[in-house]
Amino acid sequence: MRWNMILDDIVEKRKEQLQREKDNIEPQDMKEMALNSKNKNHGFKEALKKSGLSVISEVKKASPSKGVIAEDFRPVETAIAYEDAGAAAISCLTEEYYFKGGSKYFADIRAKVDIPMLRKDFIFDEYQIYEAKVLGADAILLIAAILSEEKIKEFYDLAKSLEIDCLVEVHNEKELKKVVACGCDIIGINNRNLKTFDVDLNTTSKLAPLIPYEAVLVSESGMKDENDMKNVKEQGADAVLIGETFMRSDNIKETMKQLRSCL
């Protein structure tokens, strides 16, 4: 299978979702709603820079690698438990087909928690950034594997103009180079190999030394226990993004405590 095959499939499906979204609210209307939005940033970047290793806890019902993770999916309850457990921020999937997420889940959670929220999606159209603002997102994910350097810069600047932070995700050195060239200030290293779905925390070890000192470094995917947390912290991560481990937990507070026990 080709390196970007899975991402290509996800993006193709995501285009269909985008069309439905545009049919529902026209691009000009979405843009106006975003520009008139009173939603304020809850301080995503600042939350990740607090001492220790900050945790972005993810609300995710399913994934391409694991299928359905949470049969009994209760997004708002889960998000409130994350906040109570001391998560620095919440990530919520809004991609419908592969991750079984949705904008409604995002909006429902936003109404109930006070910590910063990341809109986790596959963003390739400015409409999705205006929509993120309207939903109350404090940050969006930009994936270097699906965007040119020009697009990263354009979307980064647009998001910043709307007071939205960007977590810009890389998988390898080539992607990292274009992200660094764009001056991105929050860089995510995804430990998941999208060809095999294997997670390897050595991806963080390999790329972390190449991240500019002033950028916030987020290690993403595959964090299962306190040793993984200790490992990526030692590699210089400021924050981690954790989904599956929390989504499979029946006691989120206890899982958070356990994950943080070696820090």
Active site residues: 58, 60, 120, 169, 190, 220-221
| Residue 17 is a binding residue for ligand LARABZUK (CB under 6 A) | no
Give the separation between CA 25 and CA 37, rounded to whole angstroms. 15
**Chosen residue from 17, 54, 57, 63 binding ligand LARABZUK by CB under 6 A:** 63
Question: CA dihedral defined by 75, 189, 89, 119, rounded to 10 degrees?
Answer: -50
Minimum distance between the CB of residue 103 and ligand LARABZUK, rounded to whole angstroms? 17
Specify the residue, 31 or 192, whose C-beta has the smaller distance to ligand LARABZUK.
Answer: 192
Stretch of 14-22, 63-71, 175-183, 227-235 lying at the interface with ligand LARABZUK (CB under 6 A): 63-71
Specify the residue, 121 or 131, whose C-beta has the smaller distance to ligand LARABZUK.
Answer: 121
| Residue 242 is a binding residue for ligand LARABZUK (CB under 6 A) | yes
| Residue 145 is a binding residue for ligand LARABZUK (CB under 6 A) | no
Radius of gyration of the chain (CA): 17
Is residue 92 within 8 A of residue 120, CB to CB? The reply is: yes
Give the separation between CA 66 and CA 175, rounded to whole angstroms. 25
Which residues, 189 to 228, sit near ligand LARABZUK by CB under 6 A? 190, 192, 194, 197, 220-223
Half-sphere exposure at residue 37, Cβ-oriented, CA atoms within 13 angstroms: 24
Structure tokens at 21: 């979204």
| Residue 172 is a binding residue for ligand LARABZUK (CB under 6 A) | no
Minimum distance between the CB of residue 98 and ligand LARABZUK, rounded to whole angstroms? 7
Specify the residue, 143 or 152, whose C-beta has the smaller distance to ligand LARABZUK.
Answer: 143
Specify the residue, 22 or 260, whose C-beta has the smaller distance to ligand LARABZUK.
Answer: 260
Helix (H, G, I), strand (E, B), or coil: what is residue 182?
coil
Give the separation between CA 156 and CA 184, rounded to whole angstroms. 8
Specify the residue, 81 or 134, whose C-beta has the smaller distance to ligand LARABZUK.
Answer: 81
Half-sphere exposure at residue 214, Cβ-oriented, CA atoms within 13 angstroms: 4
Is residue 169 within 8 A of residue 239, CB to CB? The reply is: no
**Which has the closest alpha carbon to 153: 168, 172, 139?**
168
Question: Which residues bind to ligand LARABZUK, rule: CB under 6 A?
Answer: 6, 58, 60, 63-65, 190, 192, 194, 197, 220-223, 241-245
